[in-house]
Amino acid sequence: METDFTDKDTYQDIFDPHAYCNIYYGPKSGLLVVDGFLDFALKKLCETFTVRGIKGKTLIDIGHGPTTFQDLSACEAFEEIIGADYTDRNREYYERSLRDEPGTFGWTEAIQKVCDMEGKGMTVEEKKKKLQATVKKTIKCDVLKSNPMEPLVLPKVDCVLTFGCLECACSDLDTYRRVLKNVSTLIKIGGHLIVSEILNCSSYLLGGKRFSCLVLTKEFMRSAIIETGFTIVDLEVIPRKYDKEQYELCNHNSSLFVLARKERDV
């Protein structure tokens, strides 16, 4: 299932945010629900922000796409969240989802799970309001640039979170290393980077179009993050069971979560 590299302009032109949410996160049959990724991600994020106590003033969610689940625990630990994504359509859909507008994907089951894990007695509606109040804006972002927020120059932040973005933005491993450095420039010394990627994946299908993924391994991710000036705080990988039909949609064999602390600029 090798495919030509899918550039950022293709994402801008044809990526369908609503279809992506339904295919990959649908509550009953979504690929990343069935394979266990969503539950894994929600658990690790809850651990990060509650058990480990990662908190601060500002978190940037880079490459959020059309999803909001990755910010559900973060909104309890940070004063503000800034979204950042390359495509206009994803930024618009993300904002509409935060407002829970009709026609957007429903995250009710994920929100309930997070509320249960956090154990604060918060309702789904209260969590939605807290998330909406904490996410202040979403801005244009290009991780291939040395300043991903160009032309904006933002103060360095306490945390950057990126889920399933960088593997799609990079055509080769050297580019991935460079992109990690670009992202790292946004983080204070002592701040944190949270990365989640699917591993050993070359492509995924959406709307009849096959989008490329950079094939990543646990070993590469560990070394690339350390080389960028971070210490690994937490790294966990969960395997995925083989299913022919599901693998034709997306052929990753495992999912990775990393929490890392920035020790120095490189």
253 known ligand binder: no
pLDDT at 2: 62
pLDDT at 3: 76
Q: What is the mean pLDDT of the chain?
A: 96
Q: Compute the average pLDDT of residues 208-226.
A: 97
pLDDT at 1: 54
Token pair of 104, please?
């957007």
**CA–CA separation, 185 vs 178, rounded Å?**
11
93 known ligand binder: no
Q: How confident is the model at residue 250 (pLDDT cuts 50, 70, 90)?
A: very high
pLDDT at 217: 98
CA 20 to chain centre: 14
Q: Compute the average pLDDT of residues 128-157.
A: 97
Q: What's the pLDDT tens digit per position in 34-75?
A: 999 999 999 999 999 999 999 999 999 999 999 999 999 999
142 known ligand binder: yes
147 known ligand binder: no
State yes or no: pLDDT of 200 exceeds 70: yes
Q: Compute the average pLDDT of residues 88-116.
A: 96
Q: Is the peptide bond before 239 cis (omega within 30 degrees of 0)?
A: no
- Provide the pairing of β-strand 157-163 with 78-85: unpaired
Report the CATH fold assignment for 8-262: Rossmann fold (3.40.50)
**CA–CA separation, 166 vs 130, rounded Å?**
27
Strands (E), the chain: 56-62, 78-85, 135-140, 157-163, 187-199, 203-206, 209-212, 230-239, 254-262
**CA–CA separation, 239 vs 219, rounded Å?**
15
Each domain of the chain, given as residue ranges in start order, spans: 8-262
**CA–CA separation, 256 vs 238, rounded Å?**
7
Residue 83, H or E segment: strand 78-85
Bridge-partner residues for 187, per DSSP? 157
pLDDT at 243: 84
